[in-house]
């Protein structure tokens, strides 16, 4: 074996040294069946042969000065299991070019990478909370990307990094210790974080190229020697900050130019690209969802970008620095995103964490009349939903309005108009249901038609029981035309005639019934007419002598079919009363005097409403005074008397 090792108290192995001659070393994860879990103090110290080292998974600890002065080491691969790196672990690894610290590392210990002069790239994990004294002093770093979450930067932590040009701190850094960036000769621009609570002496001392230091509004106490000690100041240095802030006062005290900065004036908050600022958003506990990812940005952007997240009730839901909400229990909570620049701009989202509504149903009539009201009922399903409160709205308030109790009031309209009433769950679920309502103008005039003819009030209509149909259909034609045409129908005698809800009158037996139609819109306008139900006359035949002498009488006979006709009364008329007069009730005719042969038509018309009639043509002869018999026949002359 090329490795020396020792057993720990837990039975695991710790590598204590290497006696091999290889330039590329892959440290074994197991030796003699035991797991290797640590690299002991000074295990590879002063090894000038190593160029590349791979530390296996399972190793969680690298001891003090473990690789110190491995001056030819260029590359080292650290395992994801690593949690602790002791001080000076890689001190004076002059040729080390890059280092990737795994997640789980919380501290870069003192002197860890001191004098790693070729070190240009460092990856710092999100788990990192502190960088201790001289940790990256005198390296070749050109930039450094501090993770969100780091809180402390120790004394001389980046001392002597002459290639470092710009530094931006995340809004988690609370302390920067003495001379943390001492003699960073290429450093030109610094943006201090809004989270900064304390800054020791000479943090940026001996940084001659510094041109700008941006100091946030949140920093309220800066000692005159905080940025640099003594009276030597960078020649081009300018202090950037908010007017009337400690930054401006510091600039005045130290005689440095001051440049005023604008801060963000609002924050936008989104979920999957959808704007949710100051809105209610629901998380359904019954769905099993326990996380929510929020995005937020401050506008316009300032030097201090990003937002700070907070929860009004961490016992209900927490939020991390990335805007991820973790739901803990049922309740109402406000998540806030505050602009990190300290200007006070903020966006909120109100979270309702509960068993949510899945469906809403609305019950009520689909129509209203001008200036009428109706209460609609909304039901939230399932019944186990925690919040059953409803918000009522309408699509067009010029047609209908609605109050908080679901009472819908129709406006006065002159023609039929429609609008929707919307019931929305107030639990933030986004569940809603709309219901269309048609508003009808009130009836001003009632109108009925039968066979396309207007039915007049008190008019009589007839139903013939002897016909193929014993019904008549009435059509509603109310004015205005958009008014509701539905009527309430009623018969005074359902034994004689009935009427359906759509105006179909059915005759049942002979007699008269009054039919009334009343508007259904509340105006109570009514029209009444009579329906006469009977077995009507179908045929009339008149019999009698077709010739009659002047001044003579005759009783004409009328045969009526069917014999069962309800009303057999007839009205008799003469086409010329000056020639023949007829008794209108019984058909008896009386011929008047005439000096020539005349013809008249006698008519008999049924009085049962059937409009059936029959005509009888009658010849009237004058009285004769002389008789001349010729070969052609009789010729009657005046004053001749026929015996």
Helix, strand, or coil (residue 392): strand
**Can you read off the two tokens belonging to residue 308?**
């700070």
pLDDT exceeds cutoff 80 at 626: no
pLDDT exceeds cutoff 50 at 638: no
**Can you read off the two tokens belonging to residue 361?**
């149903």
For residues 333 and 349, give the distance between their C-alpha atoms in angstroms, rounded to a whole number.
Answer: 8
Say which residue the tokens 């802030």 belong to: 245
Report which of 142, 135, 56 is spatially closest to residue 97, judged by C-alpha positions: 142
* DSSP secondary structure of 443-472: PSB--EEETTEEPPTT-EEEEETTSS--EE
For residues 116 and 96, give the distance between their C-alpha atoms in angstroms, rounded to a whole number.
Answer: 6
Q: Band the pLDDT of 352: cuts 50, 70, 90.
A: confident
**Can you read off the two tokens belonging to residue 163?**
């290639």
CA atoms within 13 A on the CB side of 596: 2
Instruction: Return the H-helix or E-strand segment holding 250.
Output: helix 246-254
* DSSP secondary structure of 146-208: PPTT--EE-TTTTTT-TT--EEE--TT--EE-TTTTTT-TT--EEE--TT--EE-TTTTTT-T
Return the CATH architecture of domain 266-354: Sandwich (2.60)
CB 195 within 8 A of CB 220: no
CA atoms within 13 A on the CB side of 320: 10
Query: So what's the pLDDT on residue 457?
Result: 87
Picking from 101-115, 386-400, 461-475, 569-583, which range would have the lowest pLDDT averaged per residue?
A: 461-475
Query: So what's the pLDDT on residue 634?
Result: 52
CB 180 within 8 A of CB 161: no
pLDDT exceeds cutoff 60 at 231: no
**Can you read off the two tokens belonging to residue 130?**
């502190």
Picking from 393-402, 455-464, 489-498, which range would have the lowest pLDDT averaged per residue?
A: 455-464
pLDDT exceeds cutoff 90 at 270: yes
For CA atoms 527, 532, 538, 540, the dihedral sign is negative
Query: So what's the pLDDT on residue 295?
Result: 94
pLDDT exceeds cutoff 50 at 554: yes
For residues 273 and 404, give the distance between their C-alpha atoms in angstroms, rounded to a whole number.
Answer: 32
16-53 burial, b if ≥16 CB within 10 A, otherwise e?
Answer: bebeeeeeebebebeeeeeebbbbbbbbbbebeebeeb
Return the CATH architecture of domain 445-534: Sandwich (2.60)
Average pLDDT, the chain: 90
- The distance in angstroms from the start CA to the end CA of the chain is 175
For residues 307 and 342, give the distance between their C-alpha atoms in angstroms, rounded to a whole number.
Answer: 10
Domains 445-534 and 543-621 alike in fold = yes
Query: So what's the pLDDT on residue 51?
Result: 97
pLDDT exceeds cutoff 70 at 608: yes
CA atoms within 13 A on the CB side of 302: 30
Domains of the chain, by residue range, sit at 266-354, 359-438, 445-534, 543-621
Average pLDDT of the segment spanning 151-170: 93
- List Cα–Cα distances, 600 to 115, 572, 573, 577, in angstroms: 146, 13, 10, 9
Query: So what's the pLDDT on residue 280?
Result: 86
pLDDT exceeds cutoff 60 at 639: no
pLDDT tens digits, 509-553: 989 999 999 999 889 999 999 999 988 888 999 999 999 999 899
Query: So what's the pLDDT on residue 556?
Result: 93
Query: So what's the pLDDT on residue 432?
Result: 94
Q: How large a percentage of the chain has pLDDT more than 70?
A: 96
Backbone angles phi, psi at 562, to 5 degrees: -75, 160
Of residues 484 and 437, the one with the higher pLDDT is 437
Of residues 145 and 220, the one with the higher pLDDT is 145
> Is 342 buried (19+), middle (13-18) or exposed (0-12) by CB count in 10 A?
buried
pLDDT exceeds cutoff 60 at 398: yes
Average pLDDT of the segment spanning 214-226: 84
Q: Nearest-5° angle of CA 234, CA 239, CA 240?
A: 145
pLDDT tens digits, 471-493: 999 999 999 999 988 899 999 99
CATH number for 359-438 (one of 3.40.50.620, 1.10.287.110, 3.20.10.10, 2.60.40.1080): it is 2.60.40.1080
Query: So what's the pLDDT on residue 640?
Result: 39
pLDDT tens digits, 292-337: 999 999 988 888 888 889 999 999 999 998 899 999 999 999 999 9
pLDDT exceeds cutoff 80 at 233: no
Average pLDDT of the segment spanning 243-257: 90
pLDDT exceeds cutoff 50 at 501: yes
Query: So what's the pLDDT on residue 271?
Result: 93
Say which residue the tokens 């600039």 belong to: 251
CB 23 within 8 A of CB 51: yes
What CATH fold (topology level) applies to the domain 543-621?
Immunoglobulin-like (2.60.40)
Q: Band the pLDDT of 641: cuts 50, 70, 90.
A: very low
Q: Are strands 324-327 and 295-299 parallel, antiparallel or unpaired?
A: unpaired
- List Cα–Cα distances, 161 to 211, 524, 636, in angstroms: 17, 96, 159
Query: So what's the pLDDT on residue 505?
Result: 96
Bond into 261 cis (ω within 30): no
pLDDT tens digits, 164-192: 988 889 888 999 999 999 999 999 989 99
Q: How large a percentage of the chain has pLDDT more than 90?
A: 67
């Amino acid at each position: 074996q090329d490795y020396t090792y020792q057993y720990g108290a837990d039975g695991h192995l710790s590598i204590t040294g290497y006696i091999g001659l290889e330039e590329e070393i892959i440290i074994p994860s197991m030796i003699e069946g035991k797991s290797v879990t640590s690299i002991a103090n000074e295990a590879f110290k002063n090894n000038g042969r190593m160029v590349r080292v791979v530390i296996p998974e399972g190793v969680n600890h690298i001891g003090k000065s473990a690789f110190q002065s491995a001056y030819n080491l260029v590359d080292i691969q650290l395992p994801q299991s690593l949690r602790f790196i002791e001080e000076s672990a890689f001190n004076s690894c002059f040729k080390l070019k890059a280092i990737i610290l795994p997640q789980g590392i919380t501290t870069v210990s003192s002197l860890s990478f001191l004098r790693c002069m070729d070190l240009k790239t460092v990856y710092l994990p999100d788990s990192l909370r502190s960088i201790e004294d001289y940790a990256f002093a005198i390296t070749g770093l050109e930039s450094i990307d501090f993770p969100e979450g780091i809180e402390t930067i120790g004394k001389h932590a980046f001392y002597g990094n002459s290639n470092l040009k710009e530094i931006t701190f995340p809004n988690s850094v609370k302390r920067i210790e003495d001379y943390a960036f001492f003699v960073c000769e290429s450093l030109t621009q610094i943006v201090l974080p809004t989270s900064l609570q304390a800054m020791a002496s000479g943090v940026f001392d001996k940084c001659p190229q510094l041109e700008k230091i941006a100091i946030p509004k949140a920093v309220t106490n800066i000692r005159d020697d905080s940025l640099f000690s003594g009276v030597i100041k960078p020649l081009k240095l300018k202090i950037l900050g908010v007017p009337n802030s400690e930054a401006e006062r510091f600039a005045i005290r130290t005689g440095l130019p001051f440049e005023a900065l604008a801060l963000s004036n609002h924050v936008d908050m989104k979920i999957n690209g959808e704007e949710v600022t100051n809105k209610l958003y629901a998380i359904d506990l019954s769905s099993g969802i326990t996380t929510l990812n929020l995005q937020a940005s401050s506008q316009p952007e300032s030097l201090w970008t990003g937002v700070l997240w907070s929860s009004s009730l961490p016992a209900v839901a927490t939020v991390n620095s990335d805007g991820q909400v973790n739901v803990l229990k049922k309740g109402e909570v406000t998540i806030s995103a505050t602009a990190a620049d300290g200007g006070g701009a903020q966006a909120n989202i109100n979270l309702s964490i509960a068993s949510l509504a899945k469906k809403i149903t609305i019950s009520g009539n689909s129509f209203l009349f001008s200036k009428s009201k109706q209460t609609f009922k909304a039901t939230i399903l399932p019944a186990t939903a925690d919040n059953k409160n409803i918000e009522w709205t309408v699509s067009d308030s010029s047609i209908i309005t609605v109050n908080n109790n679901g009472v819908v009031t129709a406006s006065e309209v002159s023609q039929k108009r429609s609008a929707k009433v919307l019931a929305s769950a107030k639990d933030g679920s986004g569940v809603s249901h709309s219901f269309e309502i048609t508003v009808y103008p009130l009836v001003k005039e009632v109108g009925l038609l039968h066979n396309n003819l207007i039915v007049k009030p008190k008019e009589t209509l007839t139903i013939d029981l002897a016909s193929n149909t014993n019904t008549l259909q009435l059509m509603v034609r109310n004015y205005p035309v958009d008014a509701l045409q539905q009527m309430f129908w009623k018969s005074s005698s359902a034994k004689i005639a009935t009427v359906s809800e759509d105006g179909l009158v059915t005759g049942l037996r002979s007699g008269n019934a009054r039919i009334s139609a009343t508007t259904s819109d509340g105006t109570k306008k009514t029209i009444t007419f009579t329906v006469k139900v009977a077995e009507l006359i179908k045929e009339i035949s008149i019999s009698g002598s077709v010739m009659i002498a002047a001044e003579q009488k005759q009783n004409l006979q009328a045969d009526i079919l069917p014999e069962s006709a309800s009303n057999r009364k007839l009205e008799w008329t003469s086409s010329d009363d000056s020639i023949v007069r007829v008794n209108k009730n019984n058909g008896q005719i009386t011929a008047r005097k005439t000096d020539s042969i005349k013809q008249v038509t006698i008519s008999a018309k049924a009085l049962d409403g059937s409009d059936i009639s029959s005509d009888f043509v009658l010849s009237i002869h004058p009285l004769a005074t002389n008789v001349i018999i010729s070969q052609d026949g009789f010729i009657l002359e005046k004053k001749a008397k026929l015996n």
